[in-house]
Amino acid sequence: MARFLAFTSPAAGHLFPLIPGLLELQARGHDVHVRTGERLIGVVRDAGLRAEAAGAGSAGPTAEAPAKAAGPGAGSARRMRRRDREAGTARGELRRQAARAAGDAADLRRAIAEVDPDVLLVDLAAWGAAAAAEASGLPWAICNPYLCPLPGRGVPPFGLGLQPRSDAAGRLRDAVGWWLVRRTVSRAVLPHLDPVRAGLGLPPLTGALDQLARPDALLQLSGGALEHPRADPPANLRVVGPQRWDPSAHTAVPAWLTAPGDPWVLVTCSTDGQDDAPLAAAAIEALRDEPVRVVVTLGAADPGGLPAAPNARVEAFVPHGPVLDRAAAVVCHGGMGIVGGALRAGTALVVVPYGRDQPEVAGRVAHAELGTRVAPRRLTAETLRAAYREAEARRPAVRAEAEALAAQDPAGAFADAAAALVGGS
């Protein structure tokens, strides 16, 4: 049996998709250790896995934090506003991830010394830890909970939710678009990552996305209709599929959720700050006269100014698992966690993407006819109501996708691919 060390960024959306596969590895007799953000340690331990805080790199402040603590002068206020606006963008998220590179590399090297693992499993967003894994000489894999962000023949550039095109104009669009994607990612990541790689004795990368070709395996925690078919997949790509894990599995279901009445609609904002409170407000207005009950989970959104409706309740947090099991539809920002959960539950989707990878996810949902999308600039109660009704009409396709996903064994596929790195089973 082998000893596995899994290292994730300090975000539930990166940790939770790994837990079913890690539990499967452990059930097969392997020794599994987890390093993640300090606030998530209790959750991992409650799931039955060994876990310790990753350390300053993943649990501490990012490189931007000291600047945000600067004085209240006009220049500081402007810089804070610019950073806050960028935080919800794909480039801003990449910079935030990459700013942890030196700390993550040091944290993983420390964990390797403590655990003495046979295999390393590193989260895609832990750029510095990936560099340390490469330098370690151990078998290792990158684990990606997002949609696959790599180019390929006929695969449209990642980020805007574009759909495949096979004509000459489409090929030109893809060539230009992927050049822009590579440049954007590299400009955000390499200023932080290159010094870390140099300090570890590794050569510089031509582009940041090239790091995904370095591990022995790239474990892709997505699949099904949301992924574009690939005629020329990377040699190290292992599509293991989406894994559903919810820390609420052993939590009592609220009495209000099980009370008889109209079907539930879950409206949820991002747990990672972005300006998506208008989504909650528009949904309450859009659904107030529909034959449904609405529960809004605010995540990091500001509850101030939300309208009231007789069929709506607003909660700071409710575990999504029990709601999804009873929901007729989900209205959300397009994070992979909630979208994947809704699809596995066979729940109709309305996606209003605000930033990061959300426009890409929304585009895939709409193209696969598993739901609808509304651009934030067009978000009103009327547009959201129309999108909800259209999404309801697509529920048969969502149920078919849920059945296809249920027939898979992503935790088993994850464990197979991870164990294959040491020739185990």
Residue 291 contacts by C-beta under 8 Å, 6 or more apart in sequence? 262, 263
CB 17 within 8 A of CB 45: no
Helix (H, G, I), strand (E, B) or coil at 339: helix
CA-CA distance, 108 to 55, in Å (whole number)? 9
Note the helical H segments in 259-375: 277-287, 320-324, 336-344, 358-367
Do 197 and 291 belong together in one domain? no
Total domains in the chain come to: 2
pLDDT at position 93, please?
Answer: 81
Long-range contacts at 277-280 (CB < 8 A, ≥ 24 apart):
277/301, 277/302, 277/303, 277/305, 277/306, 278/376, 278/379, 279/331, 279/332, 279/333, 279/352, 279/354, 279/376, 279/379, 280/306, 280/314
DSSP-assigned states of every residue in 294-324: EEEE-TTS--TTPPP-TTEEEES---HHHHH
Residues 189 and 68 in one domain: yes
* Separation CA 114–CA 200 (nearest Å): 19
Residues 253, 394, single domain; the answer is yes
**Could you count the other beta carbons within 10 Å of the beta carbon of residue 364?**
25
What are residue 296's phi and psi, to 5 degrees?
A: -105, 125
pLDDT at 69: 31
Residues 59 and 171 grouped into a single domain? yes
Residue 391 to residue 239: CA distance in whole angstroms: 28
pLDDT in single tens digits along all 425 residues of the chain:
899 999 998 888 889 899 999 999 999 999 999 999 999 999 999 999 999 998 744 444 333 333 333 333 444 334 433 443 445 567 778 898 889 999 999 999 999 999 999 999 999 999 999 999 999 999 999 999 989 999 999 999 999 899 999 899 999 999 999 999 999 999 999 999 999 999 999 999 999 999 999 999 999 998 888 999 898 999 999 999 888 787 766 667 888 999 999 999 999 887 666 677 889 999 999 999 999 999 998 866 566 778 889 999 988 778 888 899 889 999 999 988 889 889 989 999 999 998 888 999 999 999 999 999 999 999 999 999 999 999 999 999 999 999 998 888 999 999 999 999 996 44
Give the neighbor-by-neighbor strand order of the sheet with 348-351.
Answer: 312-315, 293-297, 264-268, 327-332, 348-351, 371-373
Local structure of residue 156 (DSSP, 8 states): P
Does one domain contain both 224 and 195? yes
Q: Based on the domain organization, do 138 and 263 belong to the same domain?
A: no
> Model's pTM, two decimal places?
0.86
Contact between 9 and 97 under an 8 Å Cβ cutoff? The reply is yes
Q: Is 254 helix (H, G, I), strand (E, B) or coil?
A: coil
Q: Looking at the structure, do residues 216 and 320 belong to the same domain, yes or no?
A: no
Domain with 105, as residue range(s), is 3-241+408-422
Torsion, Cα 172 174 176 180, to 10 degrees, reads 170
The pLDDT value given to residue 273: 61
Q: Up-side HSE of residue 6: CA atoms within 13 Å toward CB?
A: 33
CA dist., res. 294 & res. 263, Å (int): 9
302: domain CATH number is 3.40.50.2000
- Same domain for 82 and 210: yes
The size of the chain, in residues, is: 425
Residue 132 and residue 252 in one domain: no
| 77 shares its domain with 45 | yes
Residues 163 and 306 in one domain: no
Buried b (16+ CB within 10 A) or exposed e, 333-362: bbbbbbbbbbbbbbbbbbbbbbbbbbbbbb
Say if residue 233 is in the same domain as residue 355.
no
